[in-house]
Amino acid sequence: MEKIGVGIIGASPLNPGWAVVAHIPALQALPQYEIRAVSTNHRYSADAAGKAFGVTSYDNAEDLIHDPSVDLVVVAVRVTAHHALVSDVLRARKMVFAEWPLGVDLTEALDLRAKAHEAGVRTIVGLQARFSPQIQHARRLIAEGYIGDVLSTSLIGSAGSWGGMTRRSSSYIFDESNGATPLSVSVLHALDTLNFILGDFVTLTAASGLRTRQVRIVEDNSMISATTPDQVAVCGELESGAIASIFYRGGQSRGSNFYWEINGSEGDLAFESSLGNLQVADVRLRGGRGASTQVEDLLVADT
Over range 208-224, report the average pLDDT. Answer: 97
pLDDT at residue number 144: 97
DSSP state of 54: T
pLDDT single digits (tens) 74-84: 999 999 999 99
Cα separation, 259 vs 200, whole angstroms: 20
User: Reduced to 3 states, what is the DSSP secondary structure of residue 33?
Assistant: strand
Cα separation, 86 vs 20, whole angstroms: 19
Cα separation, 95 vs 258, whole angstroms: 34
Element (H, E) at 248: strand 243-249
Cα separation, 71 vs 67, whole angstroms: 9
245 — pLDDT class (breaks 50, 70, 90): very high
DSSP state of 115: H
Q: Is the pLDDT of residue 162 over 90?
A: yes
pLDDT at residue number 1: 78
Q: Is the pLDDT of residue 26 over 90?
A: yes
Phi first, then psi, for residue 133 (nearest 5°) are: -55, -35
Q: Is the pLDDT of residue 16 over 90?
A: no
Neighbours of 30 (CB within 10 A): 11
Cα separation, 197 vs 238, whole angstroms: 11
What is the percent of the chain with per-residue pLDDT over 70, rounded to a whole number?
Answer: 100
Q: Is the pLDDT of residue 301 over 90?
A: no
Q: Is the pLDDT of residue 302 over 90?
A: no
pLDDT single digits (tens) 273-285: 999 999 999 999 9
pLDDT single digits (tens) 167-215: 999 999 999 999 999 999 999 999 999 999 999 999 999 999 999 999 9
Q: Is the pLDDT of residue 15 over 90?
A: no
Closest by alpha carbon to 104, among 128, 78, 74?
Answer: 78
Where do the H-state alpha helices sit in 54-168?
A: 61-65, 82-91, 106-119, 133-143
pLDDT single digits (tens) 103-144: 999 999 999 999 999 999 999 999 999 999 999 999 999 999
70 — pLDDT class (breaks 50, 70, 90): very high
Do residues 185 and 159 touch, judged by C-beta distance below 8 A?
Answer: yes
Cα separation, 250 vs 279, whole angstroms: 16
Phi first, then psi, for residue 193 (nearest 5°) are: -70, -45
Cross-strand bridge partners of residue 157: 248, 258
Q: Is the pLDDT of residue 288 over 90?
A: yes
Query: Could you check whether the bond before residue 16 is cis, i.e. omega within 30 degrees of 0?
Result: no
Evaluate the CA torsion angle 63, 66, 70, 71 in order and state its sign: positive
Over range 227-249, report the average pLDDT. Answer: 98
Q: In terms of DSSP bridges, do strands 223-225 and 231-238 run parallel, antiparallel, or are they unpaired?
A: unpaired
pLDDT at residue number 219: 95
